[in-house]
């Protein structure tokens, strides 16, 4: 792969112009363990494994980025959470770290530079930067201050806090915001090109636009303004269409979109405002045939590709069960249907 061409492809797309072909962000994570013949636990135990896995998958699937997403729960692990590993799925928390909302009063933001769980993330970014220099997009990840409480205290307790205790909600947001900004900037310092701002609770799938404007929107706008590099907002397969204009005002550069919104409508709403990233369904991908895969890729490119501003990607984490032949078909289909000027018979 011509790495310089790959990077140029992404930058041209972000400028809402047509590059040589539609960029592909195939955000594979756990599949690196398969590439190296390791268990998921062993794979994530050492940053060098993730570096090797990402580089191998980048070449195999001709994706235009690498990512250092170990597992989402690593952020709460930094707060002292315990991680449970699975043989065929992403590592997750054993239990929430906040059992009663009153514990928020004693919660403090971890020092990201002294955190053992986060150390391997920074080391992996540095390793990928050493290998790729400035020739490839390296994606870092933070969970938004507004969405990370789902892991910290559980969804039900967090929703109760959001609606019923403004004082403790505000306190938790301040703590999480400090951590989020520091963690994002530390990843950028290590060599990340951009930061994925994961914010599923802000999606209209979860809360109303009115509540979003009062909470997640304000928090995103303030947080993103203090992140020292470009960000892309990710609603984790939630709907986006009703709040696209609002998201564009947060200062984010791109938006990961899902199949819950019509891709043509999304294209019109995002045009010259946000680069669209999406919208391959990682869950249903487990059951795709190669023929279905090509049709889905072709359809997405036809709807969102014209004029640039579109990066083909999965809309959430790709399950461990997705077969290699499907991932290769996605890549091959981009080569076949994604070259500009786009032509569809």
- Considering the entire predicted model, what is its pTM? 0.97
Name the residue with tokens 């959430």: 316
Q: Is 122 helix (H, G, I), strand (E, B) or coil?
A: helix
* Three-state helix/strand/coil letters over 174-195: HHHHHHHHHHHHHHHHHCCCEE
List the one residue out of 203, 205, 214, 218 whose CA is nearest residue 250.
218
Integer Cα distance of 274 and 227 in angstroms: 18
Q: Which CATH code is given to the segment(s) 3-337? A: 3.20.20.210
Tokens for 142, please give them. 């933070």
Print pLDDT tens along the chain (345 aa). 445 789 999 999 999 999 999 999 999 999 999 999 999 999 999 999 999 999 999 999 999 999 998 999 999 999 999 999 999 999 999 999 999 999 999 999 999 999 999 999 999 999 999 999 988 999 999 999 999 999 999 999 999 999 999 999 999 999 999 999 999 999 999 999 999 999 999 999 999 999 999 999 999 999 999 999 999 999 999 999 999 999 999 999 999 999 999 999 999 999 999 999 999 999 999 999 999 999 999 999 999 999 999 999 999 889 999 999 999 999 999 999 999 999 875
CA 98 vs CA 73, 105, 178, 207: distances in Å: 14, 11, 18, 22
Q: How far apart are CA 23 and CA 136, in angstroms?
A: 12
Which DSSP state fits 64? Answer: S
Q: What is the DSSP string of 257-301?
A: --TTS-HHHHHHHHTTT-EEEEEE-TTGGGG--HHHHHHHHHHHH
Q: Give me 258's structure tokens.
A: 């899902």
Q: How far apart are CA 268 and CA 270, in angstroms?
A: 6
Q: If we measure between CA atoms, which residue out of 254, 127, 121 comes closest to residue 186?
A: 121
């Amino acid at each position: 792969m011509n790495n310089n061409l790959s990077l140029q492809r992404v930058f041209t797309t972000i400028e809402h112009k047509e590059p040589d072909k539609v960029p592909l962000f195939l955000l594979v994570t756990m599949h690196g363990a398969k590439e190296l013949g390791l268990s998921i636990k062993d794979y994530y135990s050492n940053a060098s494994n993730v570096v090797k896995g990402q580089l191998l998958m980048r070449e195999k699937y001709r994706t235009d980025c690498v990512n250092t997403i170990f597992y989402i729960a690593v952020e709460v692990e930094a707060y002292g959470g315990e991680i449970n590993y699975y043989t065929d799925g992403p590592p997750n928390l054993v239990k929430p770290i906040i059992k009663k909302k009153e514990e928020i009063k004693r919660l403090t933001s971890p020092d990201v530079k002294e955190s053992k769980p986060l150390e391997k993330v920074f080391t992996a970014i540095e390793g990928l930067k050493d290998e790729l220099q400035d020739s490839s997009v390296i994606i870092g990840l933070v969970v938004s201050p507004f969405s990370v409480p789902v892991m910290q205290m559980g969804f039900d307790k967090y929703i109760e806090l959001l609606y019923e205790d403004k004082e403790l909600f505000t306190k938790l947001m301040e703590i999480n915001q400090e951590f989020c900004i520091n963690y994002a900037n530390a990843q950028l310092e290590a060599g990340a090109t951009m930061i994925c701002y994961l914010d599923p609770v802000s999606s209209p799938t979860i809360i109303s636009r009115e509540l979003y404007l009062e909470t997640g929107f304000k928090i995103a706008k303030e947080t993103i303004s203090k992140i020292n590099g470009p960000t892309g907002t990710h609603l984790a397969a939630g709907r986006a269409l009703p709040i696209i204009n609002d998201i564009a005002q947060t200062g984010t550069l791109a938006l990961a979109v899902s199949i819950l919104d019509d891709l043509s409508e999304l294209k019109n709403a995002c045009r010259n405002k946000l680069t669209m990233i999406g919208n391959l369904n990682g869950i249903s991908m487990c059951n795709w045939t190669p023929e279905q895969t090509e049709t889905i890729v072709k359809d997405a490119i036809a709807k969102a590709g014209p004029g640039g501003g579109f990066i083909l990607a999965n809309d959430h984490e790709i399950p461990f069960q997705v077969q290699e032949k499907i991932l290769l078909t996605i890549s091959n289909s981009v080569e076949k249907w994604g070259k500009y000027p786009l032509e569809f018979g």
